[in-house]
Amino acid sequence: MKSRFFVATIIVSLVLALGCVGFTLSFNKGTDNDVIDYEQLNIYSSHAVEFLSPIIAEFESRTGIRVNIKTGRTDDLLSKIEKRQNTDDVDIMWGGSLSVLRPYMNQFEEYSSVNEPYVCDEYNNVEGMLTRFVDVPSVIIVNLDLVGDVEIKGYEDLLNPKLRGKIAFCTSSASSSYHDHLINMLYAMGKGKPENGWGYVVDFCRNLNGQLYSASAVYQGVADGEFVAGLTFEEAAAKLLSEGENIEIVYMKEGVLSAPECICLVKDAPNMENGKAFIDFVTGYDAQRLIAQNLNRRSVRRDVEHSKYLIDKEKINIIYSDSELVSSMNDEWVQHFMRIYSENIDNYNWID
Amino acid sequence: MKLKKQKVISFRDYIRRMFIINAIIPVFCVTFVCMAIFIGLQYYSINITNIEANNKVSSVLQNTLDKYKQGVLELSRRSSLITQPIDADRLLTIRRTMKQMAASTGYSGELYILDGSFNQVLVDTSELPVFLSDGAYGGWGILREISNNPQRVTVMVEKDEENYLCIGSSIQKEGALIGYVIVLIPSDEFSVLLTKVSPQTIIADSNGWIYLSNSYEFTDALGRFDRSIEAADGFTKYNGRTYYMTGSAIENNLIRVYTVAEEGRSMAMFTMIILVVLFIFIAITIIVYNSSNRLARQSTSDIREIAEAFEQVKAGNLEKYIKTSSIEEFQKIGEAYNIMLDGLKENKELVERVAFAQVKQLESQFNPHFIFNTLDNIRFMAMIDTKASDKMIVALSSILRYSISNAQEEVTVSEDMMYTEYYLSILKIRFNRRFTYKTDIEEGIEDCLIPKLMIQPLIENSVKYGFVDRDSLSVSIKAYTEDDKLIFICKDDGIGMDEAQLEEIRSNISQPVNVSSHMGIYNVHRRIRLMYREGYGVWIDSKKNEGTELTLVLPKQAAKEQRDA
ipTM of predicted complex: 0.76
Helices (H), B256-404: 264-299, 301-314, 328-384, 386-404
What confidence tier does A27 reach under pLDDT thresholds 50, 70, 90? very low
Q: Is the pLDDT assigned to residue B458 strictly greater than 60?
A: yes
Among B29, B35, B231, select the one facing A35 at the smallest CB separation: B231
Q: Is the pLDDT assigned to residue B338 strictly greater than 80?
A: yes
pLDDT of residue A108: 93
Taking only the tens place, the pLDDT of each residue in A74-119 is: 888 888 898 887 666 899 999 888 888 888 889 999 999 999 999 9
Closest by CA position to B414, among listed B360, B455, B374: B455
CATH 3.30.565.10 placement within chain B: 348-555
pLDDT of residue B65: 92
CATH 3.30.450.20 placement within chain B: 28-265
More confident residue, A215 or A94: A94
CB contact under 8 Å between A33 and B233, yes or no, is yes
Among B29, B144, B247, select the one facing A33 at the smallest CB separation: B247
Minimum Cα–Cα distance from B206: chain A residue:
A61
**Residue A10 resides in a domain:** no
CB contact under 8 Å between A27 and B209, yes or no, is no
**Residue A66 resides in a domain:** yes
Q: Please, what is the Cα angle at B26 between B23 and B28, to 5 degrees?
A: 105
Minimum Cα–Cα distance from A37: chain B residue:
B231
Q: Which of A3, A14, A20, A281 is the best substitution to test chain B (most B C-beta atoms within 10 A)?
A: A20
Chain B contact for A66, CB < 8 A?
Answer: yes
Query: What is the arithmetic mean of pLDDT over B71-95?
Result: 87
How many CA atoms lie within 13 Å of B391's alpha carbon, on the beta-carbon side? 15
A273 and A307 in one domain? yes
pLDDT of residue B230: 83
In whole angstroms, give the CA distance from residue B198 to residue B354. 101
In whole angstroms, give the CA distance from residue A174 to residue A187. 21
Mean pLDDT of chain B: 83
A227 and A142 in one domain? yes
pLDDT of residue B562: 43
A161 and A121 in one domain? no
Query: What is the arithmetic mean of pLDDT over B340-349?
Result: 83
pLDDT of residue B116: 83
What confidence tier does A347 reach under pLDDT thresholds 50, 70, 90? low
What confidence tier does B2 reach under pLDDT thresholds 50, 70, 90? very low
Q: Which of B52, B146, B222, B244 is the best substitution to test chain A (most A C-beta atoms within 10 A)?
A: B222
What confidence tier does B4 reach under pLDDT thresholds 50, 70, 90? low
A143 and A241 in one domain? yes
In whole angstroms, give the CA distance from residue A249 to residue A265. 33
* Cβ-contact B332, B352 below 8 angstroms: no
For residue B193, the one-letter residue type is L
What confidence tier does B264 reach under pLDDT thresholds 50, 70, 90? low
In whole angstroms, give the CA distance from residue B487 to residue B350. 30
What confidence tier does A29 reach under pLDDT thresholds 50, 70, 90? very low
In whole angstroms, what separates CA B341 from the centre of its chain? Answer: 42
Residue B260 DSSP one-character state: E
Closest by CA position to B414, among listed B447, B383, B384: B447
Taking only the tens place, the pLDDT of each residue in A38-83 is: 889 999 998 888 889 999 999 999 998 999 999 888 888 888 898 8
Name the interface residues of B facing A (CB cutoff 8 Å). Answer: 18, 21, 25-26, 29-30, 32-33, 35-37, 39-40, 43-44, 47, 51, 130, 134-137, 139-141, 144-145, 156, 159, 207, 209, 220-223, 227, 230-231, 233-235, 246-249
* Cβ-contact A249, A152 below 8 angstroms: no
pLDDT of residue B466: 81
A238 and A331 in one domain? yes
Q: Which domain holds residue A65?
A: 40-136+259-312
Would strands B473-482 and A131-135 be described as parallel, antiparallel, or unpaired?
unpaired
SS3 at position A94: strand
Superfamily of domain B28-265: PAS domain (3.30.450.20)
**Residue A19 resides in a domain:** no
A267 and A216 in one domain? no
Options 3.40.449.10, 3.40.720.10, 3.40.50.300, 3.30.565.10; CATH for B348-555 is 3.30.565.10
CB burial class (10 A; 0-12, 13-18, 19+) of residue A216?
middle
Total domains in chain A come to 2
A326 and A186 in one domain? yes
In whole angstroms, give the CA distance from residue A286 to residue A282. 8
pLDDT of residue A13: 67
Q: Please, what is the Cα angle at B371 between B368 and B373, to 5 degrees?
A: 105
A229 and A338 in one domain? yes
**Residue A52 resides in a domain:** yes
* Cβ-contact B170, B148 below 8 angstroms: no
A281 and A294 in one domain? yes
Taking only the tens place, the pLDDT of each residue in B485-498 is: 889 999 888 888 88
CB contact under 8 Å between B247 and A6, yes or no, is no
A221 and A294 in one domain? no
Taking only the tens place, the pLDDT of each residue in A121-161 is: 888 888 899 999 998 888 999 999 988 888 899 999 988 88
A252 and A107 in one domain? no
In whole angstroms, give the CA distance from residue B148 to residue B375. 154
Roughly what angle, to the nearest 10 degrees, separates helices B264-299 and B11-76? 170
CB contact under 8 Å between B36 and A28, yes or no, is no
pLDDT of residue B516: 63
Least confident range from B198-202, B367-371, B418-422: namely: B367-371
CATH of the domain at A102: 3.40.190.10
The gap between the terminal CA atoms of chain A, to the nearest Å, is 91
Taking only the tens place, the pLDDT of each residue in B413-451 is: 888 888 888 888 888 887 888 888 888 888 888 888 888
pLDDT of residue A30: 41
**Residue A124 resides in a domain:** yes
A63 and A52 in one domain? yes
